[in-house]
Chains A and B, each alone.
Chain A
Amino acid sequence: MSFWEYANPKKFMVTTAPVLPWLFAAAGVALVTGLVWGFFFTPEEARQGSTVKIIYLHVPSAMMAINAWVMMLVASLIWLVRRHHVSALAARAAGPVGMVMTLIALATGAIWGQPMWGTWWVWDPRLTSFLILFLFYLGYIALWEAIDDPDTAADLTAVLCIVGSVFAVLSRYAVNFWNQGLHQGASLSMDKQENVANVFYIPLLVSIAGFVLLFLSLVILRTRTEIRVRRIRALEARAQQGEGRA
């Protein structure tokens, strides 16, 4: 019994089918708990007032935006090395989800920035690199859509994902060099000294868990859809062949 057995599409479908509803339910519970707790049962921060509460959307979505790209990178590498179709389809499935996460992070950041910084948008390193990440997602998804042959599309997007990752990291440091930031440092880290206070920290962790679960459920759901689309295409091709023979 090895991990790679789940790369078999049939095995993947059979295993994920019963898990998926539970995953969605867990995501829902964690999101509702985290957000309700965060929005209604935490004190208002001294200087920021109630605007601080957008952190429960902003930080988790920003984390997932980056982690989704990392997941796509890993899945692309697995596809290039081991040629498991489920891996390529999972990378494809994660693309739009990651893009929406990036958009949520950018939008909530703008909504928070307007009252706090007095502007919707500044060319701050963190903001700028997120905008660039958004462009990378756009290009990745567009390349998937543009190519008809599924294997060629999977290969080319995997190559693009790897090269894009290198350039995304490079852009991050280039942008740091280019402009000094307005954005605060990390809200979470292993070093307890830098963390936000505990009252905000625990509901934040719960909503992060909710976002992770939601991301997993959406990716698995979308991967299942992609596998079904493939199956339908294969059946149609077989049916056409059958008609040709008859």
Chain B
Amino acid sequence: MIALLRRDLRLAVRAGGGFGLGLAFFLIVIVLVPFGVGPEGAVLARIAPGMLWVAALLAALLSLDRIFALDQEDGSLPLLATSPLPLEAVALAKGVAHWLTTGLPLTLAAPGLGVLLNLAPGAYGWLVLSLALGTPALSMIGTFGAALTVGIRRGGLLMSLLVLPLYVPVLIFSAEVVRRGAEGMAVATPLAMLGGVTAGCLAALPFATAAALRINLR
């Protein structure tokens, strides 16, 4: 499992494209927001938590279709399926690898982009915390979506349609954490809910992902 993780990380870093692309996309979306809504600081500060989260979510969506598609093309996916490693563990490793190459960089880059959107000073910590807690769930849900659509040619658009509605609870709770943090209110409730959603996704979704993979490889 560790070996698979390291292989995926190496591929992501060395093959180029996917790794920096998500971050660049995140940056561009955030830069576009002020052009759309105007440069007033008060307006930007009000929408900053939500915009940062929506942009991070779309950036995480970008690299999803490479999770299984490349392995499917070069034939390593059937090999992985026949290896002694259970397919559930493969699914989990794929999700973790996706998080390390997408969710983690987004989390680290988010405070810098918060400055661009005039985010309230009290909210930076909550922004990083909510991203750190929420993006693993995004990766796991995305891995499930990628497994569902791995057999379909040009399935990227369909995958967005399947995955984005599943992102709703994560987005609601985490944007709420940042919003409440920005206004100085108590954040314990949405934070606990977000943690619960993520823990549930990490625990249960690898099984659904593995089931989808098995069906596709039949």
Q: A residues touching B (Cβ–Cβ < 8 Å)?
A: 132, 135-136, 138-139, 142-143, 146-147, 152, 155-156, 159-160, 162-164, 166-167, 170-171, 174-175, 177-178
Q: With A177-B172, A178-B176 known to touch, is A160 a contact of B165 (CB < 8 Å)?
A: no
Would you give 13 A-B contacts (Cβ < 8 Å), ordered by A?
A: A135-B165, A143-B158, A146-B155, A155-B215, A159-B215, A164-B165, A164-B166, A170-B197, A174-B169, A174-B172, A177-B172, A177-B176, A178-B176
Pairwise interchain contact B165-A152, C-beta atoms closer than 8 A:
no
Contact in complex: B148, A136 (CB < 8 Å)? no
Chain B binding surface SS class = helix
| Complex alpha-carbon distance, A95 and B173, angstroms | 29
Instruction: Please state if A132 and B165 are interface contacts (CB–CB under 8 Å).
Output: yes
Is the CB of B144 closer than 8 A to any CB of chain A? Answer: yes
B32-83: which residues lie under 8 A (CB-CB) from chain A? none
Q: A163, B193: Cβ atoms under 8 Å?
A: no
The smallest beta-carbon distance between A171 and chain B, in angstroms, is: 5
Q: Check if B168 is an interface residue, CB within 8 A of chain A.
A: yes
* Contact present for A142 and B161 (CB under 8 Å): yes
Residue of A whose beta carbon sits closest to that of B160? A139
Of A156, A171, A177, A178, the contact of B212 (CB 8 Å cutoff): A156
Give Cα distance in the complex from A139 to B218, angstroms: 23
- Pair A146/B158 contact, Cβ less than 8 Å: yes
Q: Is the CB of B152 closer than 8 A to any CB of chain A?
A: yes
- Distance (whole angstroms) from the CB of A222 to the closest CB of chain B: 22
In the bound complex, do residue B166 and residue A178 qualify as a contact, i.e. CB atoms below 8 Å apart?
no
Determine the distance from Cα of A167 to Cα of B208 in the docked complex, in whole angstroms.
Answer: 13
Contacts of A155 in B (CB 8 A): 215
User: Can you name the residue of chain A whose Cβ is closest to the Cβ of B164?
Assistant: A135
Q: Which chain A residues lie closer than 8 Å to B111 at the CB level?
A: none
